[in-house]
Structures are given as structure tokens and as C-alpha cells.
Amino acid sequence: MTSLKTDPLLTPDDNRFVMFPIVDNEIWKMYKKQVDCFWRAEEIDLSKDLAHWETLNADETHFISMILAFFAASDGIVLENLGTRFMGEVQLSEARAFYGFQIAMENIHSEVYSVLIDTYIKDKEQKHKLFTALDNFDCIKKKSDWAQKWIHDKRSSFATRLIAFACVEGIFFSGAFCSIYWFKKRGLMPGLTFSNELISRDEALHTEFAVLLYNKLQKKVAKNKVIEIIKEAVEIEKEFICDALPCRLIGMNSHLMTQYIEFVADRLAVQLAAGEIYGTKNPFDFMELISLEGKTNFFEKRVGEYALATTDKDDGIFDMDTSDF
């Protein structure tokens, strides 16, 4: 386990209460990039969605309902981990700034998923079941249990748990994001699919930040352990989106979805220096823009023109002369 005394990211320092001087420019830029991507729940226009919802068949409405129920619960779990573990463990001011802003964004994600459920589902009993999904649906609870075991894990290092939550945001969300993009490809549910664009962009950035932090830690997790964690997440995600809530309900090919999950996992494994595990290519051309593949820098793409003016200017803010302090 990494010693708090030897890793600068985790070493307590009274200077963490003050933002400047910036110690790590890469982490600071990642924080500023997240700020640039800020958006609000009120910016999602659902005016056309209800008419589309009425045209969907029972399988499709069930699928979307369950996906939204999973997301609504999952953002709360990510929040729990940030608030009770990571924010208290990471000591670098700019890293804590990123997590602080991520908490705000996760709250917005959670609000949007709740609004979507509240808008689409008119039956009060069904709505309540979706809002309490962890008590009602085993396939959602299984994913939740895996994530929560890492929150409550007092033995594993920060690095190990960082990888686990990179899997939560990078793998556990992948099949659901992909399935909603399938509706966009069909020209359906513009409010749902636009919110999916924004949220998937945010979650991709959160995953990238986890990778960035991990690669800055002095003591890494053994390669075989990294692979083990990723494989566990992949198997749970495959079971969820291909078996328990099969994507064939909305006309997607389960075999191709399996390949897509493996593709996403491989990208994460490579970023974590574990190498490809599956050697699988992206089977969905419509997902190319939001994949973690380097050919398209998703974070630079102004999705739906919802990004604030860039702060990446030559104004010296990222190259501070620390001798002034």
C-alpha cells in the first residue's frame, strides 16, 4: 500500500487550503477544462420527448426506464465515494478543485436523470420503483454493490480504488451511454440524447482525470491486479446490458455490444499501462466520436455548443512563476 508520507498527491500539507501556487499544471488544466464544460439541468429541452415516448414499444420504454434508474442511483454512489473517501485522501489543491467541481456536476447529472424519470413515467408506483431501483432490481443492485465495496474497502490503496472508480465511470456507464446513442442514431428522444451527450462527455473527462492521477502516483498497482479489476467490471457490465437488460430489446446486437464494452475496457487498460486485454475493435461507427480513442479528442469537441469560453490562453496562468510566492 502507498505510504501517505511518500506520495506527494496524498501527503497532508497545510498549503492545500490555498489554490496558488499551482503545483501540477496538467491537473490544473484538467480542472479548468471541466469548468469550461459546465452546464445546467434547465438547458435540456424535453418538449419533443413525450411525443416520441408514445411511439416507442413496451420493450423500448422498459429499457430506457431501467437505464435511467441505473444512472440515477449510480451518480449518487460516485458522489458518496468522492465525498467520503477521495476528497479526504487527495491533498493537492488543484486535484481537490477538480473533485469539488465533479461533485457539482454529478449532482446535475443526478437531477437530470430524476427529471427524465419524472417526465416519462406517469404511473406513480412504477416511478417510485425506479427512484428506489437498488431495492427493486437485482441487475442494478449488483453494479451498485461492486462500486460500494470499494467505497467501504479499508485495506486497498488509494491507487487500487482509483482504478476501480475509473472502471465505474469508464466501463459501467459505457453500455448505457451507447444504447442511448442508438436512439439518437434513429432520430428519437432529442432531450434524452442531448443530455446523454453532455453527461457522457463529463464522465469521459472524469475517467481521464482518474487516469491522469493514477499515472502521477509514485506507487502503482500490480499489472495483474489492474487487469483483474477491469475484467470484473467488464463481466458485470456485459451481464447487465446483454443479459439482465438485453440491448436487443431496442434492436441492438448483443454480440456487438459485448465487443464495444471490451473495446472501451481495452482503451482504459492501455491508459493504465496494463496493455490491451481483449484486442477488440470498436464495432459501432456511431460511437466513434465519444470513444476514448485518440483519433477524436472528445473533450475538445464543443458538444451542442455547450461549453464556456476556453481558458487555455497564453496568459501565464498555467505557467506561474512560483518565485513570486
Model confidence, pTM: 0.86
Contact 309, 37 (CB under 8 A): no
What are the residue boundaries of the structural domains of the chain, listed by start?
A: 46-297
CA angle 180, 81, 192 (to 5 degrees): 15
- C-alpha to C-alpha distances, 139 to 65, 143, 200, 262, 281, nearest whole angstrom: 13, 7, 21, 19, 27
| C-alpha span between 172 and 193 (Å, rounded) | 18
For the record, the C-alpha cell of 61 comes out as 420504454
CB proximity list for 127: less than 8 A, separation 6 or greater: 117, 118, 121
Coil, helix or strand for 257? helix
Taking only the tens of pLDDT, the chain with its 325 residues reads 444 446 888 988 877 788 888 899 999 999 999 999 999 999 999 999 999 999 999 999 999 999 999 998 898 899 999 999 999 999 999 999 999 999 999 999 999 999 999 999 999 999 999 999 999 988 889 999 999 999 999 999 999 999 999 999 999 999 999 999 989 988 999 999 999 999 999 999 999 999 999 999 999 999 999 999 999 999 999 999 888 778 788 878 888 899 999 999 999 999 999 999 999 999 887 776 554 433 334 444 444 444 554 444 443 333 434 344 3
Write the CATH number of the domain with boundaries 46-297. 1.10.620.20
Contact 226, 274 (CB under 8 A): yes
Instruction: Please indicate whether residue 120 is annotated as part of the active site.
Output: no
Contact 160, 221 (CB under 8 A): yes
Active-site option among 31, 99, 113, 214: 113
Which of 211, 150, 222 minimizes the C-alpha distance to 1? 222
- C-alpha to C-alpha distances, 281 to 208, 231, 266, nearest whole angstrom: 20, 17, 9
